[in-house]
């Protein structure tokens, strides 16, 4: 079988090679999550409360955050944090509104009397999982909740772990969540999928989480829709000899501090840049306060690949299909037009992933694990359905029914043939 890398044989050398993925007991995770989902489905709030106490060490009497608690969380924000949060919300909303304007309803008369079209319909109830995480990621609720509100969803609920930073509750409120619940982990996904006495069942679940959240989303898919299955964060930078090693190292480490399993890499045509970046990463790690995380990610999953030319650089990047892809080249706009597999693209050295992660307006919930080969990230379109419709007058029936009758006869589907023929006059049917 021909692999995607066959075309690159002999055209790249790894200056720093990542270790293989650590063995994860996925079977154990699957079993645990399966039990959680079944228990929550059967016992509702009681099971959620038990799992919250067991996993989060929190005895939560009332899952829902009250209106007064929401207002208090906002009051507790320092003024600058609130201003920055509202700045990010405004940017994300502005971009989502612009995207929504590109998604239009359709009506055409395909043949005389045959009218076809589609409607743009918001999903009714959406559940947004907001991770607690290692740090209070204030941008996380913005990225999932704001586009849902722009799309016009009737109800947007948010679930976040009970031990999440209080500022996260404020973020959910400011972003527009209709209801907020102090429930995290796989039990939150199960509760949103099937509903409990307190938490409503939703139509679609969005938002990233840990391995248990991810597995829970996988198992409830079908009962509800999901946005995607997300792995640890990723960043790759494609660069030539004009790039700045200091800047590249800073951007790689900024993403690496998310998680010890973050995948970070450089793909370059320049040997000197490869070596300089390797040295610069080690230098910056010496005084990085989050080096206990970023350093492990770099050691285990960091990658520097040297390629022989621009075409190989583009091909290797498309093979990786990274979540975040930065372009640091002499003509980044030209290179950008040639790239096709990525979650989000950052064109030129001034466009850092950090800006998108926090506040510039594009969504930071993006495909990982090479899913960028077939999908983009979360966006306002993730919260709507494009549903087709059709209507016919007698001319439309005369145009399509004879072919439908003949095809149904060929397929030996008599019920289909009768339904297709029913709308034809005896004279029309005799001519079929």
Say how far residue 130 (Cα) sits from the centre of its chain: 13
Q: What is the DSSP string of 307-375?
A: ESSHHHHHHHHHHH--SEEEEESSSHHHHHHH----SEEEESTT--HHHHHHTSSS------TTGGGT-
* Nearest residue to 202 via CA among 215, 185, 183, 188: 188
Say how far residue 84 (Cα) sits from the centre of its chain: 23
Cα(386)–Cα(358) distance, integer angstroms: 30
Handedness of CA 207, 213, 217, 220 (dihedral sign): negative
Is 308 labeled as catalytic in the residue annotation? no
Cα(345)–Cα(317) distance, integer angstroms: 12
Question: Which tokens is 392 given?
Answer: 């016919």
* Nearest residue to 365 via CA among 171, 156, 207, 184: 207
Q: How many CA atoms lie within 13 A of 226 on its CB side?
A: 23
Q: Residues 326, 351: contact at Cβ < 8 Å?
A: yes
Is 389 labeled as catalytic in the residue annotation? no
Cα(110)–Cα(118) distance, integer angstroms: 13
Say how far residue 61 (Cα) sits from the centre of its chain: 32
Q: Residues 298, 335: contact at Cβ < 8 Å?
A: no
Q: Residues 422, 137: contact at Cβ < 8 Å?
A: no
Cα(224)–Cα(127) distance, integer angstroms: 10
Q: Which residue out of 234, 258, 280, 324 is catalytically annotated?
A: 324
Which neighbouring-strand residues pair with 126? 156, 204
Question: Which tokens is 51 given?
Answer: 């799992």
Q: Which residue out of 303, 323, 349, 364 is catalytically annotated?
A: 323
Please give the C-alpha separations between residue 332 and each of 1, 287, 345, 385, in angstroms, as whole numbers: 34, 31, 11, 35
Q: Which residues are catalytic?
A: 323-324
């Amino acid at each position: 079988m021909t692999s995607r890398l066959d075309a690159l044989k002999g055209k790249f050398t790894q200056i720093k090679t990542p270790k293989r993925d650590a063995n994860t007991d996925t079977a154990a995770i699957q079993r645990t999550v399966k039990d959680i989902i079944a228990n929550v489905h059967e016992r509702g709030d009681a099971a959620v409360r038990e799992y919250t106490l067991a996993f989060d060490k929190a005895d939560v009497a009332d899952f829902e955050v009250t209106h007064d608690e929401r207002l208090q969380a906002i009051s507790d924000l320092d003024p600058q944090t609130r201003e920055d949060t509202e700045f990010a919300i405004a940017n994300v909303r502005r971009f989502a509104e612009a995207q929504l304007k590109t998604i239009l309803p359709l009506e055409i008369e395909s043949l005389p009397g045959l009218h076809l079209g589609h409607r743009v319909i918001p999903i009714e109830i959406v559940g947004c999982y907001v991770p607690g995480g290692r740090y209070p990621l204030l941008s996380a609720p913005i990225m999932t909740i704001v586009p849902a509100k722009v799309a016009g969803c009737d109800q947007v609920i948010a679930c976040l772990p009970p031990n999440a930073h209080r500022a996260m509750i404020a973020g959910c409120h400011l972003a527009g969540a209709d209801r907020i619940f102090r429930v995290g982990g796989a039990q939150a996904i199960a509760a949103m999928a099937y509903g409990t006495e307190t938490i409503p069942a939703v139509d679609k679940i969005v938002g990233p989480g840990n391995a248990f959240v991810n597995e829970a989303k996988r198992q409830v898919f079908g009962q509800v829709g999901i946005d995607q299955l997300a792995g640890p964060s990723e960043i790759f930078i494609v660069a030539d000899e004009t790039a700045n090693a200091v800047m590249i190292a800073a951007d790689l480490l900024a993403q690496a501090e998310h998680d010890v399993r973050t995948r970070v890499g450089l793909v370059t045509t320049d040997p000197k840049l490869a070596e300089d970046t390797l040295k610069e990463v080690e230098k910056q790690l010496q005084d990085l306060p989050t080096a206990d995380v970023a350093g492990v990610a770099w050691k285990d999953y960091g990658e520097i690949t040297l390629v022989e030319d621009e075409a190989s650089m583009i091909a290797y990047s498309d093979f990786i299909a990274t979540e975040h892809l930065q372009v640091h080249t002499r003509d980044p706009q030209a290179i950008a037009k040639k790239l096709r597999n990525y979650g989000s693209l950052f064109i030129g050295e001034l466009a850092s992933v950090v800006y998108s992660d926090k506040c510039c307006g594009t969504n930071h919930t993006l495909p990982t694990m090479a899913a960028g080969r077939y999908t983009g990230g979360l966006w306002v379109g993730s919260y709507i359905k494009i549903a087709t419709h059709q209507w016919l007058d007698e001319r439309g029936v005369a145009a399509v029914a004879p072919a439908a009758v003949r095809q149904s006869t060929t397929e030996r589907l008599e019920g289909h043939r009768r339904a297709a023929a029913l709308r034809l006059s005896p004279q029309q049917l005799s001519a079929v």
